[in-house]
């Protein structure tokens, strides 16, 4: 069945449990990340969706069924794929993203809100005076060939670093880890120029959003939407309430645009190179110990 079509109807038993009417049409289906991409009107080659909850995800559209031989990123048939107009979604997933920020709040910044954590992190300089955090503390990572190296805090100096450095190093580490995965997508031919995301989670941090745009070299667009909006719009298309995609996305608004900052790009480039060296050294030590 096409993703946008009548898949079935709500049974009486399900309707009673949900407080809905029996017979309601089920008119759309999608996985969580393809649906998140759809909620952002990401449907065509070159368009990219991102989400940063517990994990961090980047999902890019291609018209070619390319894949990574090591399965470090995964390719899906996108929701608007047809034989005549192929659309594939290449999925990058970083397990340790927002969960790192959450861990820091619960363990070293419990009295702060996330907004206050973001403001405090901005007091530390780019590169955090040499402090590096690898955010791989939420299980095996696909982008690392399924290695489970754990999170790492390196080059902590008791005379230099404080809580602001830790908070910033965490956000930078998440950005750097996503950029590392994006390199795999770029090698597959996925073009990454504009990234759309919901104005939520890690993207609520101006520091994170600017770092992401500058490090990846992409324009970040933040929208007033989430996955539930996408599901509702998709169901509307499948049920015939909307005539086409254009009708479905009336009302979708871009709330903020963040462009790469060339003035701070050299500092981020140096910080990323140090972070990358730490990652390579960590992976090398792991391989030697196996």
In the chain, the N- to C-terminal Cα span, in Å, equals 46
pLDDT > 90? residue 261 = yes
Question: b or e along 80-96 (b: 16 or more beta carbons within 10 Å of the residue's beta carbon)?
Answer: bbeeeeebbbbbbbbbb
pLDDT in tens, 79-104: 999 999 999 999 999 999 999 999 99
Q: How confident is the model at residue 157 (pLDDT cuts 50, 70, 90)?
A: very high
Rounded distance, CA 53 to CA 102, Å?
Answer: 10
Rounded distance, CA 139 to CA 48, Å?
Answer: 25
Q: The pTM is what?
A: 0.93
Give me the sheet containing 74-77, strands edge to edge. 74-77, 88-94, 56-62, 47-52, 194-198, 219-223, 254-258
User: What average pLDDT does this structure show over 154-175?
Assistant: 98
Report if residue 61 sits inside a domain: yes
74: domain CATH number is 3.30.420.40
| Pairing, β 194-198 against β 132-134 | unpaired
| Pairing, β 74-77 against β 88-94 | antiparallel
Report if residue 31 sits inside a domain: no
| Pairing, β 25-28 against β 4-9 | antiparallel
> So what's the pLDDT on residue 6?
96
Which residues span the domain enclosing 207?
41-226+252-289
Report if residue 20 sits inside a domain: no
Report if residue 95 sits inside a domain: yes
Q: How confident is the model at residue 239 (pLDDT cuts 50, 70, 90)?
A: very high
pLDDT > 90? residue 1 = no
User: What average pLDDT does this structure show over 206-213?
Assistant: 98
Report if residue 79 sits inside a domain: yes
Rounded distance, CA 162 to CA 117, Å?
Answer: 13
Report if residue 241 sits inside a domain: no
Q: Taking Cα atoms as reference points, which of 278, 51, 288 lies closest to residue 178?
A: 51
pLDDT in tens, 71-80: 999 999 999 9
> So what's the pLDDT on residue 189?
87
Contact 234, 38 (CB under 8 A): yes
Report if residue 25 sits inside a domain: no
Count of C-beta atoms within a 10 Å radius of residue 5 = 15
Rounded distance, CA 229 to CA 233, Å?
Answer: 6
Q: For the chain, what is the domain count? A: 1
Report if residue 11 sits inside a domain: no
Q: Which residue has the higher pLDDT, 1 or 268?
A: 268
């Amino acid at each position: 069945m096409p993703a946008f079509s009548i898949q079935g109807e709500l049974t009486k038993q399900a309707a009673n449990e949900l407080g809905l009417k029996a017979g309601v049409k089920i008119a759309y289906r999608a996985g969580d990340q393809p649906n998140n991409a759809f909620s952002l009107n990401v449907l065509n080659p070159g368009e990219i969706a991102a989400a940063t909850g517990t994990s961090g995800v980047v999902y890019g559209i291609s018209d070619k069924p390319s894949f990574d031989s090591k399965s470090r990123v995964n390719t899906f048939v996108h929701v608007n794929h047809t034989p005549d107009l192929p659309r594939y979604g290449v999925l990058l997933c970083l397990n340790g993203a927002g969960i790192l920020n959450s861990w820091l709040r619960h363990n070293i910044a419990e009295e702060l809100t996330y907004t206050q954590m973001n403001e405090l992190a901005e007091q530390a300089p780019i590169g955090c005076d040499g402090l590096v955090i690898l955010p791989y503390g939420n299980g095996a990572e696909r982008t690392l060939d399924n290695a489970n190296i754990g999170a790492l805090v390196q080059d902590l100096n008791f005379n230099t670093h404080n809580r602001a450095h830790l908070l910033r190093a965490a956000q930078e580490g998440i950005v750097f880890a996503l950029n590392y995965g994006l390199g795999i997508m770029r090698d597959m031919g996925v073009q990454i120029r504009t990234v759309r995301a919901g104005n939520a989670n890690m993207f609520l941090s101006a520091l994170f959003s600017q770092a992401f745009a500058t490090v990846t070299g992409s324009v970040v667009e933040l929208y007033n939407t989430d996955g539930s909006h996408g599901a509702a719009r998709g169901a509307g298309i499948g049920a015939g309430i909307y005539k086409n995609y254009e009708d479905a996305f009336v009302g979708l608004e871009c709330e903020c645009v963040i462009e790469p900052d060339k003035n701070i790009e050299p500092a981020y480039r140096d910080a990323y190179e140090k972070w990358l060296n730490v990652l390579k050294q960590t992976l090398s030590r792991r391989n030697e110990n196996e």
